[in-house]
Amino acid sequence: MPELFILAQATSEGTNEVAQLFVQGLALGSIYALLAMGFVIIFKATQVLNFAHGAIAALGAFFVAVFATVWDVPEAWMPDSPLWVSWSLAVLLALVVAFGLGMLLERTFIRPMIGEELFAVAIVTLGVDIMVRAITNDFIGTNSRPLGDPWGTGVLDLGWVRIAHTEIVQMVVTIVLVVAVALFFRSRTGVAMRATAFDQEAARAQGIAVGRIFSLSWGIGAVLAAVAGVFLSLYPRRAAGLDTQTAFFAFAAFPAIVLGGLDSIIGAVVGGLIIGLAQAYSALLPWEFLGTGFGGVVPYLVMLIVLLVKPYGLFGTEEIRRV
């Protein structure tokens, strides 16, 4: 593979391209992993394919933009603290609101559909996506909105690789959240959620409040989506901030979800990272032959190839179909 050898040498900027793409792939993959995790949690608990995930992500980022740049909350209350403290608190506040939003959506649109065909519920979420996106776009307006994050254009230059400060934060936060989710599923409520996902009726028979579990799962899913939305809108990915197109990004995460298996959280994280790395390394493909935008198609191709071999994804459980 002569190409890789050539690329292993330093470029004129001093960075090693393979390593640089690896870091970029991880950063992108962490966003996909967050989106996929939130999605899978919702799917596992409620059996719903949530097409509205992207819209919720954008709305969550919008909340952060409003809290941090428009209302100056809680910065106005603590003017002496460093920017990153007040901004993080603004984000936490926005996440609380996102949590509430997730629960509200579940209660309003999903609860009445219990017992209906899965396809129908998925289309309901499509309707929710259209609606929420239209309202969110109206709030966002036609200009991009910066989120007011404290890291700005800071970059860590290690010579052989350059990592933006925001990318470091991204990866750290993702690891923290994955660990948090893993721990959550060991807790009492987490076990209850796993039980509900496994067999709703039996869980109910055990005294688990299934309705509350549903709401909780949507709340958690919304929070994860919102975090992903925030990372999507930071420099250098979108230097100007959040705009009306941010919500569409979630569709790029679908291959990650399917790849990992619709009902596996580990699969979601692994799938997200794989797709992120695949997309980053697609920059090495000979572009002349493939034209523009092939990188956007790569996730779907990877997904298709995996599905041909494992129709339920890498970690998904095979559906036992009964007549």
Partner 1 sequence: MKIKSKWLSIFLVLGLVLAACGGDGEGTTTTAGSGDETTTTEDMGEDTTTTEGEMMEIATDVGVDLEAGTITVGLLSDLTGPFGPLVTAIVAGHNAYWTQVNATGGINGLTVNLETVDTVYDVTNHVQFYEELKGEVVAFGHSTGSPHTVAINSDLQADGILAIPLTWYSGWTDPAINSNLLPHGTPYCIEAMNNIEYMVGLSGLESPTIAIASIPGDYGLDSAEGALLAADALGLEVVYNGVGKVIPNDETTYDEVAAGIVGSDADLVFYTATPGAFSAVYGRAIAAGFTAMWSGASPSWNPAFVAEDSAIREAIARDFVGSSYYEPWDGESAGAANVREVMTAAGAPATDYYGEGFIEASILHQVLQAAYDSGDMTQAGVLAAAKTLTSVEFDGLGPTEVYTGEPNDIVQRSQWMTRPSLESETGTMIVESNYTSDIAAAYEFTGACYVLEG
Partner 2 sequence: MLYTSYEADQAMVNTTTKRVALFLFVVFLVAIPLFREGAIGGGDNPTGSLPGPSFLAEGDWLRLLATVLIFAIGGLGLNILTGLAGQVSLGHAFFMGLGAYVAAVFGMPGGGLWGLGLPIWIWLPLAGLIPAIIGVLVAPTAVRVRGLYLAIVTLGLVFIGEYLWRNLDFITGGSQSGRSHPPFEFRLWKEEEPLISFAEDGTWFGILNLDSTGKTYLFLLVLTVLFIVFAKNLQRTRVGRAFMSIRDRDIAAEVMGVNEFKYKTLAFAISSFFAGVSGALLASFVGRSIPETWILFLSVQFIAIVLIGGAGTVSGTLMGSAFVILLPRIIRDVTGWMQDVVDAGDSFLASIFDFVVSTDQADFGLVNTAPGVAPGLGIDQLNLVIYGLLIIGFLIFEPLGLYGIWLRIRNYWKGWPFTY
- Report what 283 binds from partner 2, partner 1, none; CB cut-off 5-8 Å by kind: partner 1
Contact with partner 2 (CB under 8 A) among 35, 42, 97, 258: 258
Binding range to partner 2, per CB under 8 A, among 61-69, 115-123, 225-233, 274-282: 115-123
Say which entry of partner 2, partner 1, none residue 236 contacts (CB below 5 to 8 A, set by partner kind): partner 1
The least CB distance from residue 305 to partner 2, in Å, is 10
x-or-dash string of contact with partner 2, 191-230, rule CB under 8 A: ----------------------------------------
- Spatial contact of 165 and 155, defined as CB atoms under 8 Å apart: yes
- What CA–CA distance (Å, rounded) separates 191 from 170? 28
Shortest distance, position 200 Cβ to partner 1, whole Å: 18
Integer Cα distance of 190 and 174 in angstroms: 19
Dist. CA 50–CA 41, nearest whole Å: 10
Chain centroid, CA 269 distance in Å: 10
Q: How many residues bind partner 2 (CB under 8 A)?
A: 52
- C-alpha to C-alpha distance for 45 and 189, rounded to whole angstroms: 12
Q: Contact between 291 and partner 2 (CB under 8 A)?
A: yes
Among 9, 120, 159, 288, binds partner 2 (CB under 8 A): 120
255-275 burial code (b ≥16 CB/10 A, e <16): bbbbbbbbbbbebbbbbbbbb
> DSSP 3-state assignment of 19?
helix
Instruction: Name which of partner 1, partner 2, none residue 249 binds, using a CB cut-off of 5 to 8 Å depending on partner kind.
Output: partner 1
Q: Which of 116, 157, 199, 318 binds partner 2 (CB under 8 A)?
A: 116
Nearer to partner 1, 201 or 288 (CB): 288
Structure tokens at 55: 């819209």
Of 19, 93, 123, 173, the one binding partner 2 by CB under 8 A: 123
Token pair 């939130």: residue: 38
Beta-carbon contacts of 138 under 8 Å, excluding residues fewer than 6 positions away, are: none
Transcribe 202-214 into DSSP letters.
HHHHTT--HHHHH
Question: Which amino acid is present at 256?
Answer: A
C-alpha R_g of the chain: 20
Stretch that binds partner 2, among 19-27, 130-138, 172-180, 271-279 (CB under 8 A): 130-138
Residue 303 binds which entry of partner 2, partner 1, none, CB below 5-8 Å type-dependent: partner 2
Cβ distance to partner 1 smaller for residue 11 or 206:
11
Pick the binder of partner 2 from 135, 156, 202, 240 (CB under 8 A): 135
Residue with Cβ nearer partner 1 (265 or 280)? 280
Spatial CA neighbour of 302 closest among 280, 317, 319, 320? 280
| Cβ-based neighbours of 128, under 8 Å, separated by 6 or more | 51, 52, 55, 105, 109
Beta strands in the chain (DSSP E): 155-157, 162-164
Residues near partner 1 (CB under 8 A) are 11-13, 15, 24, 28, 68-70, 104, 107-109, 111-112, 131, 135, 137-139, 141-144, 146-149, 152-153, 155, 157, 162, 164, 234-241, 243-245, 248-249, 252, 279-280, 282-283, 287, 292-296, 298
Q: Are 32 and 252 a contacting pair, CB within 8 Å?
A: yes
Residue among 32, 62, 41, 21 at smallest CA distance from 221? 41
Residues near partner 2, by CB under 8 A: 49, 109, 112-113, 116, 118-124, 126-135, 137-138, 141-142, 251, 254-255, 257-258, 262, 290-294, 296-297, 300-301, 303-304, 307-308, 311-313, 319, 321-323
